[in-house]
Amino acid sequence: MPYSVGLQSAADAFLSAGIATQFTFGVVIFLVIVLVTSSLQADEADAPASLPCYSLSAILPFFTRRYDFLNWGFQATGQSIFQFQLLRNQVIVVSGESAREAFFTAKGLDLTEGFKILSGAIPMVRGVTSNLQPRRIAMIHKRLAAVQRNAPLNDLIPLILEDSRRIMSTWGTSGKFDPFENIYALLFQTTLRSLSCSEISDDPVIVDRLKTLYDTLDNGTTPATVLVPWLPTPAMIKKLWATKEIYGIVTNAIRAREESGVSHNDTLQMLLDGGDEKLVVVGFIMGLLIAGARATGTTASWLITFLGCHQEWRAKAVAEVESLLAIHASSSDKDSLSARLSTIRLEVWESETPVLDAIIKETTRVAQPHTAMRRNLGPPVYIDGKIVPTGAYVVYPFSDVHMDARLYPDPWAFNPAREEVKHTPFAYVGWGGGKTQCLGTRLAKVELKLIAAMFVLGFRHSTIDGTGNSTKPTPNWNDILLCRPPPEETGYISYERSDIPL
């Protein structure tokens, strides 16, 4: 009777184990049951091809090495559309010209729901940044548009330049730094300046604290925190703690403004003057800070990196900014660079900078590892003859178009002189496409241009490896946050201050 005795021993051992062990065992059994039942579900005739695996370990790379995982999925199924299960969630991955057009134009595919489930890096507070009523979402969009109107954006220009001057001045006259640390931190500061309030953006201690907390959210986004957010893993506990801290910082700033009775010309004041609900104000700042800083910070870090290893484009950028100063700056040459640049009007930055525009566009094409995520909240839709059921999640990797050698020859090469692809719909989706354009595009482009102008005129720089030799690092699309190059290709910025005072 050794078999029955073994079962009895196992049962006794389980019952004598601690609560934590029993809970973990229960979770594992739950996941196994979900995966097994999912694998037994038969696909409909018009359903996308399924990945040839159902184990949880096989889909973990969706979170850890997404670019490789999606490419493997297309190769393993031999199809341009495939599906897999994230526990009980059906995820459909699409590619190709017609699928891309359908993805960006289908009415039922919802951005907010797709990003919330599949990303998990936004601080989630019910009623503040998640589970929002449509009217609150519409109000947040309306306020973001108001921030980017001509007058507010013009007012932001000298503040962004002053933030840049102050931070760049701390770098000294020469040295080297990691652009994904220094440039990203600079963009985090300017995004705080643009989307929050002076109580936060004027205090370097609070700024550093917020950056650390948002980094905790990013680094704490694991497969477990996305798939089973109710499971109290160490990563989830850290995310909850960081979210609570961020919420506290934002609400304290709002309270300080209200109690002071002093009006400021910033985004918080606009929200308060508009009579918005407190939860809308808090959600606007908490959610948009990380959404803006992460994407724009990635672009800025790579933009400076690319200019450092493509000196011909650096020279073109320098010439363009010098021309702006010569024609449009109303201050004296004896003034600081930031003061002179701040006198250039918004419309000039937007309409008379073709070189910077081309550099920004090429950078977002090569080094923005976006995977667009949607959830079908409408009736079932068909994409390339394959059904997308109600409730299913749909994913479109930007690499499908931005790394397409038929549209962009030698696609990994940084070449801002590329001709615009006009014969293919949605050939460039760096700022979104169709009904889901990035709502903060105008602000992001102004930030990028101002910081690039300050840096290329205030410093001479090049991109080097760890031994000091020139290098051209390759963006790593598996790094879904910063596209940071792999360790063996790490690039640093070697710089020295120019003769122009910041």
Q: Known binding site for heme: residues?
A: 438
Strands 393-397 and 371-376: antiparallel
Q: Are 280 and 251 in contact (CB under 8 A)?
A: no
488 secondary structure, DSSP code: G
Q: How far apart are CA 86 and CA 35, in angstroms?
A: 9
Q: Can you spell out the DSSP letters for 112-141? A: HHHHHHHT--S---BTTTBS--HHHHHHHH
C-alpha distances in Å from residue 243, one per residue of 131, 236, 282: 16, 10, 12
Strands 174-177 and 492-497: antiparallel
C-alpha distances in Å from residue 25, one per residue of 15, 17, 50, 60, 247: 12, 10, 29, 20, 34
Query: At 220, is the secondary structure helix, strand, or coil?
Result: coil
Which residues in 149-172 are b (16+ Cβ under 10 Å) and which e? eeebbeebbebbbbbbbebbeebe
At residue 306's C-alpha, the angle toward residues 304 and 311, to 5°, is: 100
Q: How far apart are CA 223 and CA 62, in angstroms?
A: 9
What is the number of alpha carbons within 13 Å of residue 186 lying toward its C-beta?
A: 31
Q: Are 342 and 458 in contact (CB under 8 A)?
A: no
**Binding-site residues, please?**
438
The residues that bridge with 20 in the sheet, in sequence order, are none
What is the number of alpha carbons within 13 Å of residue 276 lying toward its C-beta?
A: 28
Q: How far apart are CA 321 and CA 162, in angstroms?
A: 17
At residue 125's C-alpha, the angle toward residues 122 and 126, to 5°, is: 125
Which CB contacts under 8 angstroms, 24+ apart, belong to 135-140? 136/277, 136/279, 136/280, 136/283, 137/112, 139/276, 139/280, 140/280, 140/283, 140/284, 140/287, 140/288
Closest C-alpha among 487, 408, 418, 501 to residue 457: 501
Q: Are 313 and 374 in contact (CB under 8 A)?
A: no
What is the number of alpha carbons within 13 Å of residue 451 lying toward its C-beta?
A: 33
467 secondary structure, DSSP code: T
